[in-house]
Structure 1
Amino acid sequence: MMHNLEKIKYYLSNILAIASPSGFTSNIMDYIKEELHLLNVFYYTTNKGSVVVKIDGENKDYIKTFSCHVDTLGAMVKEIKCSGTLSLSPIGGFMMNSIEGENCTIETIEDKNFSGTIQTIKPSIHIHDDARDLKRQPSNMEVVLDEKINSKEDVEKLGISVGDFITFDPRTKFTNNGFIKSRHLDDKASTAIFLYAIKHISENNVKLPYTVNFLFTNYEEVGHGGSSIPEGTKEFIAVDMGAPGTGQNSSEYSVCICAKDSSGPYDLELRKRLTNICKVKNISYKTDIYPHYGSDASSALRAGWDVKTALIGTGVYASHGYERTHMDGIISTLNLIVNYCMEN
């Protein structure tokens, strides 16, 4: 199955450039809706802000739903200190050392933005004897604003307040040999895959045996993105990421199929079908188990939905940090999605 790699990269670079921590996703949802409008496909927005693309198939009673999530890790201003620096409250689960020294933007409630850098409270080895040993935890991290300020009052005059969002510079880089390095590939790689899959199905008039939904959720990183899913869904596949690393079977060059995560095993019959598609269509895949992982499919089950669930996605190295994947894994994930859509 041939694909336009430049179009996939186009979607992905645009998506990665739009800040979207959980709770601050309206801008990226607007972008997704603009692209869907250009594709001339039917979509609707839920009360909570998710976007659903519905593509009718021959069987409209047995509905299959894919989900990806557009929300990412981030933070909020917790306190404006007397020195004019900002303490932060994390959004989502990440290691504090992964954001140390990172450039960031403060997005105020009045739509102003200010740049800054995330540092420890003891950032210089020339000053602090224990700078290296300081525990990297929220109470020891702060944002240093790129403004001439000396006090809490100076910061408040700028319009910055507690509860403002802090977004991290994604530092996106595409290499000539197919690697993509960036923050927030979890789960913006899948978001780009969804847009391209919808484009492929629509423009090629692919006939689907079953109605398929593509659900873009906006609260996965905080645990309730998949708590509301389209009515009539029988099979729910979260498209997120695999996690390569020590002791894992996942790969950046394959679609990863999760057998079990912290929420328990995924549906065996559905996993067998996904695995069989990969074998028959010669799609590179890896099966794996993730002990510290949950997905939109997990939250759908916790919410009480009577659905069969699965979890797939391209392998993403250094998840919840400065991440990396490869176009091979993205294409394998795309091919599995499209072939599953066409499965009788």
Structure 2
Amino acid sequence: MNNQMIEQLRELIEIPSPTGYDREILPYIEGKIKESGLEIWRLNKGAILAKLPGQSEEAILFSAHVDTLGAMVKEIKSNGRLKVSMLGGCPWISLDAENCLVRTAEDRRISGTFQGTKPSVHIDGGDVSKTERTQDTTELILDEKVESKEDVEKLGIEVGDFVFVDPRFTALPNGFIKTRYLDDKASVAILLEAIQALKAETLKNTLYFFISTYEEVGHGAAAGVPSQVREFIAVDMGAPGNGQNSSEFAVNICAKDSSGPYDLDIKERMVKLCKDQAIPYKVDIYTYYGSDASASLRAGHDLRTGLIGAGVFASHGYERTHIDSMQATLDLVLAYARAGLAPESR
């Protein structure tokens, strides 16, 4: 079992980075990549780009996104409770009874809990379970002595403050990992491992590693892709579930998502690499999904694209994967990087 990758993932998960808040996570990732000796840039929008030179300047780019779901304070109610606005597509029901921290402009972290507006069986009876969870029926209850809007404002809390939801990271001895934000910090951990494995090798093609910061809101890799890149491989997640072919114990190769089909040659080369190197894999289609590769194409980049990832169960909620799936994804990244661009891509 790759305990090093699990610990790397734990460190990433414990640093809050909802979309729009990257002050803590980006310096951490930069430090990890600099330790490997790669050339590295911070792009204007905040994304990290690192380069591993190969024999050819024509390049393959691997991306992962470090931004996660989260929330912002939308309204301070007259009773001292908070209404929030979601960052990304988190189901409201998954926030029920979750602990969180509200970050003030002075960087104070104030504890709280998400609850329904009718949270007590002894008061609200059957309405507790019957009430649909929405922005209007979900409240953030602060763990402070507050009974009014003015009380909350005295704590330094303002509309627009970020809310960090407790990820509840748990790694079990049998390889299962349960936590929020496997999407997509599992892939960031995988790419950091890949950099370590490849940094001293002589590769056919130059590699770029792109760590984006706005994927969850659709424009993560819309800019900043170097002109030498011919193939863009998004390392994100596979989504096991009802009617899906994906697995928590294999690398998942996406044939098609909401943006359309990914490049056929890339998909077929990946499948062949998995077969030749005994890497467990699944091919799947995701109806409600888009990636940084999709964003790059929509922005007008002329690229061949692929999408792979570890299997993440209950995506955008309290997620689960297995280290075998992360390892299989890492193995495919390494195999693809070493194989280089296909002749038809040159």
TM-score relative to the length of structure 1: 0.97
Answering whether residue 23 of structure 2 is matched by residue 30 of structure 1, we say no
Deviation >3 Å, runs of 4+: none
Mapped to 2, the partners of 1:333 and 1:92 lie a distance apart of 25
Counterpart selection for 2:168 from 166, 171, 189: 171
Counterpart selection for 1:56 from 53, 63, 69: 53
Counterpart selection for 1:266 from 257, 262, 266: 262
Mapped to 2, the partners of 1:242 and 1:261 lie a distance apart of 11
Describe the SS at the equivalent of 1:139. coil
Matched with 2:273 is 277
Matched with 2:205 is 210
Matched with 1:227 is 222
Describe the SS at the equivalent of 1:132. helix
1:290-305 map, 5 Å: 290-305=286-301
Matched with 2:135 is 138
Q: Structure 1 residue 324: deviation in Å?
A: 0.4
1:36-115 map, 5 Å: 36-60=33-57, 62-115=58-111
Q: Structure 1 residue 110: deviation in Å?
A: 2.1
Q: Structure 1 residue 81: deviation in Å?
A: 0.3
Counterpart selection for 1:257 from 245, 253, 259: 253
Answering whether residue 313 of structure 2 is matched by residue 338 of structure 1, we say no
Q: What letter matches 1:246 in structure 2?
A: N
Answering whether residue 190 of structure 2 is matched by residue 196 of structure 1, we say no
Q: Structure 1 residue 313: deviation in Å?
A: 0.2
Q: What letter matches 1:8 in structure 2?
A: M
Matched with 1:155 is 152
Q: Structure 1 residue 294: deviation in Å?
A: 0.6
Q: What letter matches 1:51 in structure 2?
A: I
Unaligned runs of 5+ in 1: none
Q: Structure 1 residue 37: deviation in Å?
A: 2.4
Mapped to 2, the partners of 1:83 and 1:246 lie a distance apart of 41
Query: How many correspondences in the alignment?
Result: 338
Q: Structure 1 residue 201: deviation in Å?
A: 1.1
Q: Structure 1 residue 135: deviation in Å?
A: 1.2
Identity, % of aligned positions: 51
1:309-320 map, 5 Å: 309-320=305-316
Residues 142-196 of structure 1: per-residue CA shift (max 9 Å, x gap): 1000111111001101100000001110000000000110000000000001111
Residues 36-95 of structure 1: per-residue CA shift (max 9 Å, x gap): 2222222111000000110000011x1110100000000000000011010000000121
Q: CA RMSD in A?
A: 0.9
Q: What letter matches 1:208 in structure 2?
A: L
